[in-house]
Amino acid sequence: MKKLIIILAVFSTSCSSRIYNQEPIQSYLETETLGVNYQGALVRTLDKKNIKEDTLHFDFTYWGGWKDSKFYSNSDTILITNNGVEQEFIFWTSEGDTVVLDICKQFNPGTYDHGYKARNKGKVNVVIPQVYELANVMVALTDNAQPNWVNKDTEYYKRVLEYFTPYRNHPAIKNLKAKLSAGSYLNIRENSAAYVFDGQKIVESSTYAGFRARDQFKKLLPLIQDFAIASNFLSFYQDEELFYEKLESLEHESAQVKEAWDWLQSQFPNKVDSYRIIMSPLAGASHSIRLFENNGFKENIIFMSAPSLVSKDSVSQGIRDALALRRAFTEIDHNYVNPISDNYLDAINEAMADLGKWNTKGSYNSPYETFNEYMTWAVFGLYVYDRFGESDYEKVMLQPINFMENNRGFINFKSFNRHLLELFQKYDGKKKVPELYPEILEWVKNKNYSS
């Protein structure tokens, strides 16, 4: 940490936006320990003596709406609100030393005009966008991509390497590698979907302004543009279009998202107008979702891996379809489950107070996040039971239960999943999923405090 010597202009470009151009807000806090409450879901305390950096970055990505956050001491609180100002700086001072908190806020990043609404209302769109695929190709060319970022077990991956290996030393790949090492993978991958090709030129989409706060793809755009031209990426993409279309059709046929969408809207009060599944045949298991709302139109956007063209399972078609749907379903239903969980935040924090009894991997480090993972995957079980019957339910859920408990560290998922099903059966459809919250939370609380 250093004495406060700062030129604001150096920081003011770090969170640039094509929507908001207001000057950043500056605030000040003097305290030894700093409390952080991130949208009510994640609370932690920062101790000045443990902070080595001069600047801490906080990115507030728009997921499905805005909830205020705060930074606070014993005597003062600074609220982070939806005030239309994209960037704020808090100067956190103690004993003459200052750490700059650089806060980047992303508000509603989708703009739906009348034409878009008319074309997409009531539809599930499955797409492999050009610039998004370009970003995935470039990640695959780096030598520091993690296994869950790139699916290397395909003939398509081999074709990508065969075509693009001569361009592996391009400066864009070197700079991308550095960004990946700094933790920007999801930011770059998802923000690339907010760009399109206009001829050979990569330009901003007219619909999407971005998918994660502090657009790292934009920072690399001149180099990415040069890579796309040097490698003639569009020629490769056009040669693969029939393959992309097969994957898009398979996702429609096997996942049957429209049926799941209808079921979720019969169970939950939240309603949406359209679904957009953004895929890449290169993408690994890193999935995420957004709910954008603009101009009276709500769209669920899911980033996910592509389906396999070859099934390795010796199971019935119904079970294969259910397992194919699971990839999307446990992302989709976050936009239904999370708003209900918001109403039970205090009860969730109390019920899962001993987080180590529920989550041994630490990737979701709050009761709220952990509970929502349990709930979204268990709601998938309810859908399978309701649609396919108890026999298929038992077969389908073997894989998710094993994956949740043994791979993800959610060690009580099997019993949680079973109890939620028993509640669902108990009321025989007379109670919807949100009405089951008090009883499932009471069960969680009792299990949490049992020896």
Q: Identify residue 65 by its one-letter amino acid code.
A: G
- The neighbour count for residue 168, using CB atoms within 10 Å, is 13
What residue has token string 């992303």?
Answer: 106
Domain count, the chain: 3
Rounded to whole angstroms, how far apart are CA atoms 54 and 320? Answer: 51
Rounded to whole angstroms, how far apart are CA atoms 72 and 27? Answer: 12
Same domain, 413 and 435: yes
Q: Is residue 310 part of a domain?
A: no
Q: Is residue 90 part of a domain?
A: yes
Q: How far is CA 174 from CA 221, 243, 262, 288, in A?
A: 14, 29, 45, 26
* Domain stops at, among 105, 126, 141: 105
Same domain, 101 and 132: no
Take residue 104 and report the two structure tokens written for it: 């980047």
Q: Return the pLDDT at 318.
A: 60
Q: Is residue 80 part of a domain?
A: yes
Same domain, 337 and 424: yes
Same domain, 163 and 95: no
What residue has token string 């206009």?
Answer: 198
Greatest pairwise CA separation for the chain in angstroms:
68
Closest Cα partner for 251 from 325, 142, 164? 325
Q: Return the pLDDT at 6.
A: 37
Q: 397 with 384: CB under 8 angstroms?
A: yes
Q: Return the pLDDT at 309.
A: 58
Q: 339 with 270: CB under 8 angstroms?
A: yes
Q: Is residue 33 part of a domain?
A: yes
Pairing of strands 87-94, 97-105: antiparallel
3-state secondary structure of 166: helix
Same domain, 119 and 100: no
* Domain stops at, among 105, 139, 171: 105
Q: What's the pLDDT tens digit per position in 200-252? A: 999 999 999 999 999 999 999 999 999 999 999 999 999 999 999 999 998 88
Q: 363 with 36: CB under 8 angstroms?
A: no
Its domain, for residue 134, covers 114-258
Q: Is residue 187 part of a domain?
A: yes
Q: Return the pLDDT at 311.
A: 46
Pairing of strands 33-38, 69-72: antiparallel
Closest Cα partner for 211 from 281, 299, 328, 139? 299
Q: Return the pLDDT at 3.
A: 39
DSSP string computed for 307-365: PPSS----S-HHHHHHHHHHHHHHHHTHHHHHHHHHTTHHHHHHHT-SGGGT-SS-SS-
Q: Return the pLDDT at 255.
A: 65
Q: Return the pLDDT at 208.
A: 95
Same domain, 81 and 155: no
Rounded to whole angstroms, how far apart are CA atoms 101 and 103? Answer: 6
Closest Cα partner for 434 from 197, 269, 209? 269
Q: Walk along the chain (451 residues) and give the pLDDT tens digit of each residue.
A: 443 333 333 344 456 555 555 788 899 999 999 999 887 777 889 998 889 899 999 998 888 778 889 999 999 999 999 888 999 999 999 888 999 999 999 987 889 999 999 999 999 999 999 999 999 999 999 999 888 899 999 999 999 999 999 999 999 999 999 999 999 999 999 999 999 999 999 999 999 999 999 999 999 999 999 999 999 999 999 999 999 999 999 888 776 888 899 999 999 998 999 999 999 999 987 888 889 999 999 999 999 888 875 444 444 556 666 766 787 888 889 989 999 999 999 999 999 999 999 999 877 878 999 999 999 999 999 999 998 888 889 888 999 999 999 999 999 999 999 999 999 999 998 999 999 999 999 999 999 988 5
Take residue 138 and report the two structure tokens written for it: 């470039």
DSSP string computed for 279-316: EETTB-S--EEEEEEETTEEEEEEEEEPPPSS----S-
Q: Return the pLDDT at 17.
A: 54
Radius of gyration for the chain, computed over Cα atoms and rounded to the nearest angstrom: 23
Q: Is residue 15 part of a domain?
A: yes
Q: Is residue 96 part of a domain?
A: yes
Q: Is residue 143 part of a domain?
A: yes
Closest Cα partner for 371 from 392, 354, 384, 389? 354
Q: Identify residue 322 by its one-letter amino acid code.
A: A
Take residue 111 and report the two structure tokens written for it: 């703009």
* Domain stops at, among 83, 105, 127: 105
Rounded to whole angstroms, how far apart are CA atoms 326 and 255? Answer: 8
Q: Angle CA(228)–CA(230)–CA(233) in degrees, nearest 5?
A: 40
Take residue 154 and report the two structure tokens written for it: 């395909």
Q: Return the pLDDT at 256.
A: 80
Q: To which H or E segment does residue 126 belong? A: strand 124-127
Angle between helices 413-426 and 437-449 (to 10 degrees): 140
Take residue 241 and report the two structure tokens written for it: 């279009």
Same domain, 122 and 249: yes
Rounded to whole angstroms, how far apart are CA atoms 248 and 307? Answer: 9
Rounded to whole angstroms, how far apart are CA atoms 339 and 32? Answer: 34
Say if residue 220 is exposed, middle or buried (CB neighbours under 10 Å; 0-12, 13-18, 19+): buried
